[in-house]
Each structure stands twice: as C-alpha cells, then as structure tokens.
Structure 1
C-alpha cells in the first residue's frame, strides 16, 4: 500500500542519524533502568517474602527455558559494582524498583522489614555518593504472593489500601533523598498478560472478559491513593514528584482508509487512554466504554476526585511500533484485543531485534511523544524505558556478543526521535535505557538480552560492557561527533 511504502521510505531516509548530547536541553536526564525481580536474586535473603513471580517461575511450563529469578544477576550482593558501572558509563540517573515483599514480606503492612529498608537505603546512598539520582518504582509486577493467595491481589479493591500503606512507608523511609517516584510500571502488562492471556504472573486467563479491567481499575486507584498520601504528608517537606509509567507501541494506520485510521486511534486509546484518560479527563476513553460496556468498571464520584490530575509526570516505556488495520475479529486471543476490532501488523524492513514483536522503528517514538503532548495538555514526560534485545547464543564467542551494532543504531535513531519531539514542543525531561544489565526477561527467561552490559551467566556472572555501553559513554561525555564519524 502507498501509505506503508511512504512510511518505510521516510524511515530509510532517517537512518543512519547522528545525534549529540547537545541536541538535548542542558538539564535533560539520561539514565538506565532495571527492575527488582529481574536483577536482585537473593530470593530468600534479607527476610524477603515470596512474590507472585517466585511462584509463577517455579510452575512447570511457564518460563521458556525453565529458569527463574532466584539468583538472576545477583544485584543484591553486587549493587556497588553495578552502581560503579553506571557512574563509569556517565549516566546521571538510575531507575530501579523496590520489591514490595522486601519491605512487607506478606504485603499487608503490619510489620516493616528493616533488612529491606537497609538494602534500599544502601543503594540510594551509594547512588548519591556517585552523583547519580535515584528514580524509584514502587511496583514492577512483583506482588507479594500472600496478597494474591489470601485476597485475590489486584482483583480485590482492598489492595488499594495495602498499596497506599506500602507507598507511605517508602516515602517516609527514602523520600528525604528520592525526589522522583513512579507508582506502577506498565499496568497494562499486569492487566492483560497477568489476567487475560495468562503468560505473566499470576497466570490467570479464565475470566479474560472481566478480570483485566478490574485489575486495571484497582491499579489506577492504587496509583492515585499513593499520589494522594504523598501530597498530604510529604510534598511540602520532601518536594518530590510522582509519576505513572504507561507502555505504548505507536499505532500507525495501515492505509489512508477511515476504518484503518479509526483502528489505529482505538489501539492508542486501549493502550495509553486506558490509564491516562481517567487521570486527565475523569473516565475511560469513550471507545472503551462503547466497545466493552459493563465489562469496564465505573468510577464512583469520590474515586474520580481521587484519580483526577493524580500525577506530576508521565513515564513512557516504548520499544517499537506497528501498522494497524481494521478487522472484525482480532487474530490475537483475549477480549482485550477482540474489543479493539483491529489487526496488528508488523511488516517492517528496518531491522528486527531478537523478540518477534520488536522492530526498529525510531520515528514511532517521536509520534508517541507528540501524541501524549497533544492529547494530555503537554505534561512533563520521561521516556522511562527504551531498548532492544539480542538472542542468547551459547555458541557465539564473547567478542561477537559484545559487538552489538544494531543496538547502537537503535539508540542513535530513538534518541534522535526524542530530540525531534522536544523540538516539536513535547515536554520531554529525560530518557532511560532498558536495561543496564542482561537479566531475567520474564516469560522468556534468559533467552533474551536487553543489557548495555553483558552478564556471563556461566562464568560467575561477570559483567562485560557491550559496544552500546561504550557508545553511550562517548555520547554522554560529548565525544560523539554530531555530523562526523562515530568514534
């Protein structure tokens, strides 16, 4: 189709693109990101309670390589080494998540686990000693198992109260030094993959027409409750900011047909609008209400008041983009996809990462950022995750695994897209690479590597910076030539 050919031509013309740190505002934040379950390990140390991911990974058939996060890359014991790496590479911020069950092993908030408090205090202090600002995520999918088993976890509205207690405890314990908080990471993935397709913990799919929407509803309320307690008790003294991280693949209409354009717009409403519309406009997007009817929970008036304007910034996790066409029946199973009446197409020719869903489409990020700016009154935005993966390959020599040319090209293109969005007027404040380290990649186990730093799983978990890490080191030090050759 003409539309697709034009877009692919635009993509080819945009590559390769040189980018310099001087293309960004002086106070722009450059960081790296990780999450607790993916890197910490030490699953039974420090009085940590079990999470739903501990249970899920030890269930036969759930993880592709039969692995788990019991040890992963042992960041629990190697955090100083890893923070030294962040400093060496020149990043000025580190986004990491706190494991809820390290703070409250049963999730209930009755007794604080001081060993967990000490561990995260040590990380925060080590970062600040190196001049690295902590950006802390309260929830990155690792719900305390007890909350799931005893009360249904995110299916029960009572969880809002327990999340508020947990958030309050973290603000009180760490907020004197942490000035940027993220309540929940990618609530869409928890709702859809955890409670619709069942490919993520807790692995539920039996009630896919209702549970994802109930889970999402409770996550929105939990986020708003945490925001509220911060405003009431900590904002004046600590002066920090609270955000929510949404994930979004740009949806490009497959043609100029009105039905394809409508399908692409629906796709964005079902991704971003699901979570940001209630915050900015007081309710779910109209298309979701129309397509889902009674499957979608309703906000009570007091909930609307709690949720409205309950964030200081939007965190965006973005990896790739898709062509979207109208379809009366989605090729993907689960009511979440069927309700959108669209087909996801991925016919790109610009490079493909290891994951089958991840194509290299830099200009999609520019479009998402501009979409958020236009749709939600230009809020402050942080790109809280962006990156690509390589396939784990036991037979490749180390030097080949470290020479990640496509990842360097990926980052150059996507960083250029961020710089362009800022010039367009989007209020983008920072960019975080996913990820600092190769790690446990959820249902894919250790078969995919997203890190700037290679972790040798077979030889003592030794860290080896990849070519992309050295590229960032030069970029952040201002040694990348904007119009010349890459060093």
Structure 2
C-alpha cells in the first residue's frame, strides 16, 4: 500500500502501575484494590465483584505487590523503550501512591516526586507520556469505606486526585485518559471501579449505578484538567472489539447490536455528552437516580479524543442452545468459523480492528487512539540465545496493516498506537507472567521467582524498524 502514517504519529507501548510498578510498601504508597487479588483461579471472584473479604490470606501469592519492579527499574526500562524509538509511552499513576488512603487533604510528596522523575526520564528521550489517571487502580481504604464507585462519595475523592495530578504535572503531561476500559464496570466491577456486588440486590441496578458514578467522575476529570491546562487533551478508554452476529438471522443481528452497545453506551456519554436512549430506558426501569448536576457536567465536558483496547472480535447468537456452554464463563465468546485458532479465549482478527476504527470514527468524528493491542505468548528464555517471538511479530504486522488501511484508505483520524504491554508484565486477566506480551522479556515466573533481568526479544528489533520507518517496514 502506498502512503504512510501522518507526520507526528505516536508510536509506542503501554503499561500500567498495578501490573508493573511493585514497591507497594515504599515511597509512602498505600494499599490498592489489586494488591489483595491472589494468583490462581480464585482471582475471578475478585474481578467480578463477588469476593467480599479483601484481607491477605496465608499460602496465597499476591503478584501485584512486586510487579516487575518498574518502581526501581524505570530508568532501565525507559532507556529500552527509547532504543526502540518510542514516541509515546502510555503509563498509569497509582492513586494510592498519591493519596495512600484516598481521603487525605494533602497528597503524598514522595509519590508525586516519583512520577516527576519518571516524566523527566521520558522527556530526556523525547517520549511523550500518555497518562491513565486510574487503570484498575483504587486505594483499598476507599474500596472498603465506600465500596468504590458504588458510592457517590467516590466522585469527590477522584476530583481531589485529578486536581492534585494536573496541579503537579501541568506542562509535563499533554495526553490524559480518565479511566481504563471504563465499560468493564458492567462485567468486572471490582477491578474497573473498586466495587463489590451485593448478592442480595439487583445486579444490573448496582452496575448501572456504578456506571453513572464513574461516568460522572470522568466528566469532572475532563473539566478539572481543561480548566487547569487548556493545552491538555483528555480522552476516554474503552475495552473494544466489534461483535459479529453468528448468522445473518435478524435475531442474531439484533443480538450483535445489543452487544456492541456495551461499548457505545460509554462512548456516547463521554464523547457526545448524553446517555443513549436505550440506556435511559434501562436506567429508568431500574430506578437509577441521575442528578441534574451530573447530567450538566457530563453534557459540558466531553472528551477530546477516544481511545480503546483491541485484542480481537467477538461473536454472539440469539440461540440459547449455542450460548449454553458460555454460561459458566463470563469472558468467553462463540467461535468464529472464519477466523483461526482460539488462544487465551480469543481469535486473531486484524480486519476487525479496521472495522472497529471505521465504526467508531463514523459514529463520533473525533480523533481515535489505539492504546492497547497485543497477544500473550509463553516465551522461553535461554541465556545467550535470541528469543524468537515470531507470533508477536505476525500479530502486530497484520494489525498494523489493517490500521494503515483505516487511516490511508478510509480516512480515519488516528493519533497513535501503543502496544500492550511493551515489556512483559502481569496479565490482568490471568495474574501471571507466563502470558507474555512484551518486546522485552522479564526474568520472572508465575511464582515470583527470577532475577528481573530485562532481555530484548526478536520483536524488539522488528518494532524498532517499524517505528523508524513510520510504519513502512513491516516485514523486517
């Protein structure tokens, strides 16, 4: 394909504090919601908001406490990102590193200074920070006191947190995201909103209330940042991936429309400033209160751009018999016969990325930013040998090709592309290290054993050439 990405296109990678930082008991940091989520199958009870006991337990391993030690190794890691040629690094700030409990009046200076140092290091290499204000990350004290965003009081805590960030980092950070994968509150309320579900109450009513509170908080975040720094650009972040109907049956098509609304609902509120009609109907039926001030804040403070994660597409059917096997797995989807093998409950669908970009740009007519895209592999390291992660290279090549078509042929306005995660880190879905996404191998296993050594993989050098050529050299 002739042509290239626009000048200034932001190539880079993405990480998150709770999956890489570690240093949970250093620099004045308080405990966070993900700290108490153990490795192993029990983690799903936490993710879905079903676990009410948030205490540490003997004989359990809590991988977030050490992460990959980015807290101590950020200079080494950023130097490696710079070696690849990164123009942007998406990272998040640990809320409990700034406000250890979340209810303090004065932010923690040690925490603020840590991110000062990180941003200084990025600037040294001309890497633009793209900062997620809350990436599955809430002070545990607020989670236990308020049940996270199940409570309206959480909005005030978030406003104070955002105000502290923009006061400190104005001029150092241009691009902000209010919440990570905000629409996941409807599926994973604990990790997405710090909220647990009361089994004695209507589940959907609780989730819609959480959604309204966090959407209101997001709008306040946009307002606070814009007023403090008009040069800043604030975006949302949606867990994306188009839903296809299993057949061309009208019932299946309607089922796909309803599934795609799970993401559009949040995009509409954040980019258009109003609730879509179907969401209003549902909220009225569930008697969810939406205060006049909230609606005003939402309508007046829309995002400057929309960002999203894309790992693959999904398939839905209206046939209950087909759906029966999915009832015990909330994260599963039907298999698409037109795509390849299923890996980690996903099928690769590069063209689905082009479809998603077109659908979202057609709908909102605002700049887009792909801030997560990647695939996990169980890479093995033998000292002295190059890690041949061709699976990563093939995945990224195919998705960048479709991304390029969306930009050059379809006219989608795309700000940039950050792969997930550019260095091996804890997988949010599995809480393991063996599901490796990175261009850089980290010597750490699922039990927390290893040297933490960083080793560039084959894909490291491939992505270096992609960035250097602004997306032209995709075949090495």
Q: Structure 2 length as normaliser, TM-score?
A: 0.87
Alignment of 1:199-278 (within 5 A): 204=197, 206=199, 207=201, 208-235=203-230, 239-270=231-262, 272-278=263-269
Give the alignment partner of residue 305 of structure 2, picking from 299, 305, 313: 313
Question: Equivalences for 1:96-135 in 2 at 5 Å?
Answer: 96-135=91-130
Identify unmatched segments of 5+ residues in structure 1: 1-18, 338-342
Structure 1 stretch displaced more, 135-144 or 258-267: 258-267
1:92 counterpart residue number: 87
* Distance (whole Å) between structure 2 residues aligned to residue 344 and residue 353 of structure 1: 10
Pick the aligned partner of 2:424 from 413, 417, 438. 438
SS of structure 1 residue aligned to 2:65: coil
CA drift at 1:353: 6.8
Say if 2:361 is the partner of 1:373.
yes
User: How far apart, CA to CA, are the structure 2 residues paired with 1:142 and 1:221?
Assistant: 18
**CA distance in 1 between partners of 2:305 and 2:26 (Å):** 34
In 2, Cα distance between the equivalents of 1:265 and 1:127? 42
C-alpha distance in structure 2 between counterparts of 1:55 and 1:450, whole Å: 23
- Tell me, in whole angstroms, the C-alpha distance in 1 between the residues paired with 2:464 and 2:358: 28
Match status 1:449 vs 2:440:
no
* Structure 1: distance between partners of 2:240 and 2:27: 35
- For 2:211 and 2:15, the matched residues in 1 are separated by 23
SS at match of 2:130: strand
Residue range with higher mean Cα deviation, 50-59 or 37-46: 50-59
SS in 2 for 1:42: coil
> Which of 454, 458, 465 is the matching residue for 1:467?
458
Evaluate the alpha carbon distance shift between residue 486 and residue 425 of structure 1 in structure 2; reply closer, same or farther with a 3 A threshold.
Answer: closer
Matches of 2:329 and 2:82, distance apart in 1? 45
Seen in structure 2, the aligned counterparts of structure 1 residues 335 and 448 have a Cα distance that, compared at 3 Å, is closer
Contact 2:379 2:387 survives alignment (8 Å): no
Residues 57, 63 of structure 1: 8 Å contact kept: no
Structure 1 partner of 2:475: 486
Aligned length: 451
Q: Distance in 1 between matches of 2:167 and 2:183?
A: 28
Q: Hey, what's the Cα distance between the residues in 1 that align with 2:188 and 2:39?
A: 18
Q: Does 1:42 align with 2:29?
A: no
CA distance in 2, matches of 1:234, 1:201: 28
Structural mapping, 1:314-463, within 5 Å: 314-327=306-319, 331=324, 332-333=326-327, 344-348=333-337, 350-352=339-341, 354-356=343-345, 358-376=346-364, 378-391=365-378, 397=382, 402-423=387-408, 424-446=410-432, 447-457=434-444, 458-463=449-454
Indicate how the Cα distance of structure 1 residues 320 and 200 shifts in structure 2: closer, same or farther if over 3 A, else same. Answer: farther
Q: By how many angstroms is 1:328 displaced? A: 5.3
Call closer, same or farther: CA 1:185–1:401 in 2, change over 3 Å.
Answer: farther
Alpha-carbon distance in 2 for matches of 1:404, 1:267 = 34
In structure 2, relative to structure 1, the CA distance for the partners of 1:351 and 1:438 (3 Å cut) is: farther
Equivalent residues of 1:63, 1:442 under 8 A apart? no
- 1:443-466: per-residue Cα shift (whole Å, max 9, x none)? 512241111211111441111112
Worse-matched range after superposition: 455-464 or 124-133:
455-464
Please tell me whether the aligned partners of residues 283 and 299 of structure 1 are also in contact (alpha carbons under 8 angstroms).
no
Distance in 2 between the 1:280 and 1:118 partners?
33
SS at structure 1 position matched to 2:37: helix
Distance, in Å, in 1 between the alignment partners of 2:403 and 2:471 is: 17
Q: Does the C-alpha gap of structure 1 residues 192 and 74 become closer, same or farther in structure 2, counting only changes over 3 Å?
A: same
Equivalent residue for 1:286, pick from 277, 292, 297: 277
275 and 109 in structure 1: CA distance in 2 versus 1, 3 angstrom threshold = farther
1:301 matched to 2:288: no
Distance 1:202 1:291 in 2: 20
| Distance verdict in 2 for CA 1:175–1:351, change over 3 Å | farther
* Alpha-carbon distance in structure 1 between the residues aligned to 2:249 and 2:370: 31
Q: Match for residue 78 of structure 2?
A: 83
- 8 A Cα contact 1:227 1:242, kept in partner: yes
CA offsets 1:369-401 (integer angstroms, 9 cap, x no match): 11111112x1111101111101366xx746889
Distance 1:112 1:292, change over 3 A: closer
Q: What's the secondary structure of 1:210's corresponding residue?
A: helix
Contact persistence 1:264–1:325 (CA under 8 A): yes
Between 1:97-106 and 1:22-31, the stretch displaced more is 22-31
Q: Secondary structure at the residue paired with 2:469?
A: coil
Q: Unaligned stretches of 5+ in structure 2? A: 46-59
Distance 1:383 1:317, change over 3 A: same
